[in-house]
Amino acid sequence: MLALGGIVLTGAAIAAAPALPGAPVQLLPGVTFERQVTLTAHGPVALNVIVAPRPGGLLALEPALSNDLIPGTETLTSIQRRLSPTATTVGVAGDFAVADGRPVGIVLRAGSLLHTPLATRVSIGIDAAGDLRADQVQLLGTWQASGPRRALSLVNRAPTGNQLSVFTPAWGPTTPSASGTVEVVLQGVPRTPPGSELTGTIATVTNGGGSVIPPDGVVLVARGSSAANLTAEAKPGQPVKLRLILKPDWSQVVDGIGGGPLLVRGGVADFRPQDIFPSADLLARGPRSAVGQRADGSLVLVAVDGGRLGTSVGMTSFELAQAMVRQGCVLAAGLASGPQAGMAFDGTLLSQPARGELPITDALLLVYRGVYVAPLQPVLSPDGDRVADTIRLSYKTISTAQVTATLTGPDGVVRLTDQGARVAQRYSLIWNGLTQGAPDSEGTYRWTVTATDDQSRPSSMERTFTLNRTLARLKAAGVLRTNPGTPQPLAAFDTTRAARIVTTILSPLGVPAATLPATSPAPGQQAITWDGKDVNGTAVPPGRYTVSVTATNDVGTVTRTATLVVRRA
């Protein structure tokens, strides 16, 4: 904790953007979130959309494993919270999963192949230039000890029949329990990049599962004729050569994840993708997620809510393809669909799953490794009514960095500065809108944080808010008894300057029940009344309602809310 002239810095939590329809919200530098709701013949459809620049620099598109292992049981928000000390992430659920928590398709992370691709479905890759790939990828692996090259079929997946599989530390500490297998532990294979010839040294040869996977090695697990060949040709102390060839050539692909089906190619929605899926899975209308890329290289991540008739009925696969075309994508592919589909930012859900959040096998994340500034409350109004009297200004560093954080007023003069070396953690300060004990100027303030990390990488981020004392001390009537045609006292509040006042009464469900005519009163104490009628002129039913008062003038817009109970007269 730091003290700056009486201002206390702490490691406070960062608030995430709300998942509400409206204009795009900035999450990260160049990265925005928007919730789009469309009314269709089948019902409303809610589309959660992330748009980001082409990956590069401090922003990457990467897969993340549940529990950081191949068989995982972690939720998307849990994955992000676990990664939060080292990055700020936003993304969607990744691949489909099998019963034991493994992904169905490929996992390629930082150039290492961690799980076998499924050749009958599309694999999604991102290359070193930040370009998206969507191909049906096949593994053509080989191993060679004292005999000829032989087939290596699988990565981090138990072999069947006459197959041989390679298990890496991404699987876990030991190979899965098994009988009838031969297992060869190789040391000296710290990574498994496709296309390269890898050489390890045999440490042990055992039968059955449960072999310890060395942190700098792999374990070959074989059955049937592959087990017989491994027994005959692999002896302790011998070298073994491995090759993991991907077809088509993915030598330039750095990260990859399984998914499908292909949705868009060449800017055209794919009505009949070649991926093998049950027809019911493609035609069902429900939750879905996808990733796409526009012609300028920018990325689009989408999660469709589904399964809630009054909120969002979801989409079919082809409807999602059409939606990705409308988002400007020239290439797009599906990811997880069904109850696991979802979107989250820095550990907070942006989508609204019908059944709540469920565990997933992996995620596809936009990973930002620069200084991060949390969203701010939009208005500071230091007027002593204990509502928005202070504002929390925060930032997060993910490594040791030289940081300069400034709060600049509407006149361009810096009000606060926090400068110096900072270790990796979250910081925040509280400001009360006073300078040397006097109320500061009203208008727009800028909270700007720049940092240079221990790898000499610069980053910066800025948020704004408005200091506005126009509206204060809103107090609603505790109980309003409806007497249609007779206005009743609704609420009272103070204004400090002229403003256009709009009052809305929200129902217990949060939707507008009535909006009163706009007024522009002189500054001072204000009182408003309401006859208890809704927008149709009908007396509203009893319940707990919310009074929302918004004042707009040249300073900006400020809103205050209060609750009241409506009862029959």
CA 40 – CA 16 distance, rounded (Å): 29
pLDDT of amino acid 17: 36
pLDDT score of 13: 31
The answer to whether the beta carbons of residues 372 and 326 sit under 8 Å apart is no
Tokens standing for 492? 């009272």
d(Cα 490, Cα 146) in Å, to the nearest integer? Answer: 89
- For residues 96 and 104, the answer to whether their CB atoms sit within 8 Å is yes
β partners of residue 560? 549
- Residue 78 — φ and ψ, nearest 5°? -65, -40
- For residues 564 and 478, what is the distance between their CA atoms, to the nearest angstrom? 5
Compute the distance between CA of residue 8 and CA of residue 418 in angstroms, rounded to an integer. Answer: 11
Taking the C-alpha atoms of residue 384 and residue 485, their distance in angstroms, rounded to an integer, is: 36
SS3 113: strand
> What is the C-alpha separation between 96 and 104, in angstroms, rounded?
6
Helix (H, G, I), strand (E, B) or coil at 369: coil
SS3 230: helix
Whole-number pLDDT of residue 6:
29
pLDDT given at position 383? 85
What pLDDT, on a 0 to 100 scale, did the predictor assign at position 264? 97
| Residue of 550, 549, 551 whose CA lies nearest to 563 | 549
What pLDDT does residue 11 have? 30
* Residue among 14, 3, 10 nearest 428 (CA): 10
Instruction: Tell me the C-alpha distance between 512 and 3, whole Å.
Output: 44
d(CA 38, CA 48): 11
Burial class of 356 by CB neighbour count within 10 A (0 to 12, 13 to 18, 19+):
exposed
State whether residue 155 is helix, strand or coil. strand
Map out the domains of the chain with their CATH numbers. 2-11+375-465 (2.60.40.4070), 25-132+252-368 (no CATH), 138-247 (2.60.120), 471-568 (2.60.40.2550)
Asked if 408 and 415 count as a contact pair (C-beta separation under 8 A), the reply is: yes
Rounded to an integer, what distance in angstroms lies between the CA atom of residue 302 and that of residue 283? Answer: 18
Q: What pLDDT is recorded for position 265?
A: 97
Residue 22 has a pLDDT of 63
| Residue type at 415 in one-letter notation | R
**Percent of the chain that is helix, strand, coil (3-state, to 5):** 5, 50, 45
SS3 225: helix
Kind and range of the H or E run holding 566: strand 556-568
Alpha carbon distance 172, 179 (integer Å)? 19
- The SS3 of residue 280 is helix
**405 within 8 A of 390, measured Cβ to Cβ:** no
Q: Kindly report the pTM of this predicted structure.
A: 0.88
- Alpha-carbon gap, residue 305 to 287, rounded angstroms: 5
Q: C-alpha angle with apex 201: 199 to 205, nearest 5 degrees?
A: 125
Whether 322 and 339 have beta carbons less than 8 Å apart is answered as no
Question: 477, 564 in Cβ contact below 8 A?
Answer: yes
pLDDT reported for residue 513:
92
Collapsed DSSP state (helix, strand, coil) of residue 324: helix
104: closest CA among 126, 137, 80?
A: 137
pLDDT for 9 equals: 30
For every one of its 569 residues, what pLDDT tens digit does the chain have, with 9 covering 90 and above?
Answer: 233 332 333 333 333 333 445 679 999 999 999 999 988 888 899 999 999 999 999 999 999 999 999 987 899 999 999 999 999 999 999 999 998 889 999 999 999 999 999 999 999 999 999 999 999 999 999 999 999 999 999 999 999 999 999 999 999 999 999 999 999 999 999 999 999 999 999 999 999 899 999 999 999 999 999 999 999 999 999 999 999 999 999 999 999 999 999 999 999 999 888 899 988 889 899 999 999 999 999 999 999 999 877 789 999 999 999 999 999 999 999 999 999 999 999 999 999 998 889 999 999 999 999 999 999 999 999 988 888 999 999 999 999 999 999 999 999 999 999 999 999 999 999 999 998 888 899 999 999 999 999 999 999 999 999 999 999 999 999 898 877 668 889 999 999 999 999 999 999 878 899 999 999 999 999 999 999 898 888 889 999 999 999 999 999 999 999 999 998 87
Amino acid at 443: G
C-alpha closest to that of 371 among 452, 301, 483, 476:
452
Angle at 478 (CA atoms; ends 517, 476), nearest 5 degrees: 35
Distance CA 156, CA 101 (A): 12
The tokens for 271 are 């009505």
Q: Are 256 and 124 in contact (CB under 8 A)?
A: yes
Yes or no: say if 345 and 33 are a contact pair by the CB < 8 Å rule: yes
In terms of DSSP bridges, do strands 479-482 and 556-568 run parallel, antiparallel, or are they unpaired?
A: parallel
Instruction: Quote the pLDDT of residue 425.
Output: 93
CA 168 to chain centre: 28
- Give the Cα separation of 317 and 326 in Å (integer): 14
Please give the sequence-ordered ranges of beta strands (E in DSSP) within 288-328, or none if there are none.
288-294, 299-304
